[in-house]
């Protein structure tokens, strides 16, 4: 027989600890994570997708929408407390949740378990994508708060490479899926949708909404990519040399 030798001085294995009834703050943090996913982060996603779709009404409409948004009073505060901080919290706590879960989708290849797993992976993917997207579109390059009329140009320049289009498409799908399924999770966890049949329905609805939003996003991307390249801004007072330099990439846009 194999080892009967017991390591005498090791303590007995403990296993999972029992409920720490009524103590700790994780309830608050976890529910806050759940809430921030819907309001404001999810709401912002909706707004963002709808605003982006303005491109379907033409370049001027799009630039105008950017003008409206960037011209909102307290814009910076809205950004910080309405988007950045909640987003950062949702992302950071989400990674913590992901790290503590013990994925077993291989052993239990069940539908709900796949969705559970997907919610974690799409979350991490969206985190990476949003960080990248913020970097290229919000924190570097021409600042659209001052130059809203360069908005279409900036997006078209961003999407100039097919690889970029792929990155955006994948980011779009991941974000919309995460949000759509997240709506179902929210409804289930907060006791809004409780019944067995009702939850199946809510799950389908959540996923359908996610896919619908993805479609909207993809149509938007398509519209950006296929329309004639916009000039950065003909009205700008720019040194001639710099302007021609800056115009160069726009000229190569398909």
Partner 1 sequence: MANKTVQFKIKRQDGPNSQPYWDEFEIPYRLGLNVISLFMEVALNPVTREGKQTTPVNYDSNCLEEVCGSCAMLINGKARMACSALVDNLEQPIQIEPFSKFPVVRDLQVDRSVLFENLKAVQAWVPIDGTYDLGSGPRVLPQVQEQAYRLSQCMSCSCCMEACPQFNESTGFVGAATIAQARLFNMHPTGKVLKEERLAALMGDGGIQECGYAQNCVEVCPKEIPLTKSISDVGGQVMKKAVLDFFRV
Residues in the interface with partner 1 (CB under 8 A) total: 55
Nearest distance from C-beta of residue 198 to partner 1, angstroms: 9
Q: Is 124 exposed, middle or buried (0-12, 13-18, 19+ CB in 10 A)?
A: middle
* Interacting residue with partner 1 among 75, 143, 161, 189 (CB under 8 A): 189
Nearest-approach distance from CB 178 to partner 1, in angstroms: 13
If residue 62 lies in a helix (H) or strand (E), which one and from where to where? helix 59-70
Angstrom CA distances, 69 to 42, 52, 151, 154, stand at 17, 11, 12, 16
Cα 60 from chain centroid? 26
94 vs 217, which CB is nearer to partner 1?
Answer: 94
Among residues 74, 81, 108, 135, the one that binds partner 1 under rule CB under 8 A: 108
Give 115 or 127: the residue with its C-beta nearer to partner 1: 115
Q: Which of residues 14-43 bind partner 1 (CB under 8 A)?
A: 14-27, 30-31
Binding of partner 1 at residue 121 (CB under 8 A)? no
Q: What DSSP designation does 163 have?
A: H
**CA distances (Å), 185 to each of 35, 111, 180, 191, in order?**
11, 14, 9, 10
Binding site for partner 1 (CB under 8 A): 1-7, 10, 12-27, 30-31, 97, 99-105, 107-108, 110-113, 115-117, 119, 185, 188-196, 199
């Amino acid at each position: 027989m194999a080892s009967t030798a017991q390591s005498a001085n090791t303590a007995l294995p403990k296993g999972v600890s029992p409920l720490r009834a009524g103590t700790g703050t994780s309830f608050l943090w976890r529910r806050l994570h759940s809430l921030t996913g819907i309001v404001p982060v999810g709401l912002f996603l909706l707004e963002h997708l709808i605003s982006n779709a303005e491109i379907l009404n033409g370049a001027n409409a799009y630039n105008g929408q950017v003008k409206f948004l960037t011209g909102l009073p307290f814009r910076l505060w809205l950004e910080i407390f309405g988007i950045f901080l909640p987003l950062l919290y949702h992302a950071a706590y989400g990674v913590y949740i992901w790290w503590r879960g013990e994925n077993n989708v291989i052993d239990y290849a069940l539908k709900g378990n796949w969705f559970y797993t997907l919610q974690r992976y799409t979350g991490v993917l969206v985190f990476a994508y949003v960080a990248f997207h913020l970097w290229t579109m919000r924190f570097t390059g021409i600042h659209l708060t001052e130059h809203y009329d360069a908005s279409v140009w900036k997006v078209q320049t961003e999407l100039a490479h097919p690889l970029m289009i792929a990155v955006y498409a994948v980011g779009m799908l991941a974000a919309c899926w995460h949000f759509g399924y997240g709506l179902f999770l929210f409804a289930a966890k907060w006791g809004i949708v409780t019944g067995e049949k009702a939850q199946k329905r809510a799950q389908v609805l959540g996923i359908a909404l996610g896919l619908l939003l993805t479609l909207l996003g993809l149509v938007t991307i398509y519209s950006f990519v296929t329309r004639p390249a916009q000039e950065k801004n003909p009205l700008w007072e720019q040194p001639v040399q710099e302007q021609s330099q800056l115009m160069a990439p726009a000229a190569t846009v398909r």
